[in-house]
Chain A
Amino acid sequence: MVAPAAITARIERSLTALLAEVNDLATVGAEWQSLPEWNQASIALDWSHLMADYLTELDNFYRSDAMTADQQARFNVLRGQLTTSLPIIARLNLYRPPIPLDD
């Protein structure tokens, strides 16, 4: 299925942003205790936005067959990385991914 350009742009934006943020989680976890509380809140609030809005929308696109094969592969990489990151997400008390992380 060829998705309209607007949907493709949303998929690409969200995949890129989420993969970058998940890749940075280990660094966030290492510096967490040294961060002022406002900075911890800022990170947590933005993470919540990524989970509640970017990730749920991506999952909807995935399940409605709006993604290319390449995008599906990257989405599955993201889901795998989120699965691996669940312990650090729990340790930092961040918003847990609200989508199934495997089919």
Chain B
Amino acid sequence: MDEGGGGSSSETDALILEAAQTARVLTVAELQLVLDQVAVAGFDPGARERARGSLAGLRWRGQVLRGADMLPPADAHYLRHAAIGQEWPAGTTLEGYVTSIRAVILDERSGVLISRYQAAWQLTILRRSAELQGPLGFAWVLLDYRLATGHWVTAYQPSRGLLVLQDPRRTNLRWLRRPR
């Protein structure tokens, strides 16, 4: 997919892999190319995941969700983290959730981290939640992008201390840019 930013997903993924595997420092322009591509990637509109756990019983798009129902990942993660979790401000819509994630990706204050998660490379972008912290939100916003699929995997608000980054399933961590 190449919807802007000046680089194709294959070119930007190659840059990410090069930074991960050779420890080469990306230039400012190269990092921006990567982030522009990740920002437009979004959740995979053709994928589906089950309305598991807390989504079952929720009314969404005119129907009460059952645990076996299949949803686009954007809907599933919006419902889980914003609508039900209230990690985002009250009244945040699905479009607002996605737009806010794009803004975090493109925010110069955001940190950018490369790591391997369950044997696949991921790019993680995180920033202090600030105006995005909802009534039950936490101190940071985090987005994981998976190179193998070229799409976002999830976006939520981790707490102060970023304990989630100490998950032993996440290995080969390397900061491409520290959060400010």
Binding site for B on A (CB under 8 A): 6, 9-10, 13, 16-17, 20-21, 23-24, 27-28, 31, 36-46, 48-49, 52-53, 56-57, 93, 95, 98
Tell me what chain A mostly uses at the interface: helix, strand, loop, or mixed: helix
Judging by beta carbons under 8 Å apart, are B136 and A37 in contact?
no
A41 contact from B52, B84, B146, Cβ within 8 A: B146
Chain A: minimal CB distance from B117 (Å): 6
Contacts A9-B135, A95-B167: A42 and B73 contacting too (C-beta < 8 A)? yes
Interface size on B, residues (CB 8 A): 38
Judging by beta carbons under 8 Å apart, are A17 and B54 in contact?
yes
Judging by beta carbons under 8 Å apart, are B149 and A38 in contact?
yes
Contacts A13-B86, A24-B67, A28-B52: A46 and B149 contacting too (C-beta < 8 A)? no
Judging by beta carbons under 8 Å apart, are A20 and B53 in contact?
yes
Interface 1/0s, chain B 25-47, versus A by CB < 8 A? Answer: 00000000000000000001001
Binding site for A on B (CB under 8 A): 44, 47, 49-50, 52-54, 56, 67, 73, 77, 80, 84-86, 117-118, 120, 122, 135-136, 138, 144, 146, 148-149, 151, 153-154, 156-159, 163-164, 166-167, 169
A49 contact from B56, B86, B158, Cβ within 8 A: B158
In the complex, which residues of chain A have a beta carbon less than 8 angstroms from the beta carbon of B50? Answer: 31
In the complex, 8 of the A-B residue pairs with CB atoms within 8 angstroms, ordered by the A residue number, are: A41-B117, A41-B144, A49-B156, A49-B164, A53-B138, A57-B159, A93-B169, A95-B167
Q: A37-B118, A39-B47, A39-B49 are in contact. List 7 more A-B contacts (CB 8 A).
A: A20-B54, A41-B118, A44-B118, A49-B158, A53-B163, A57-B159, A95-B167
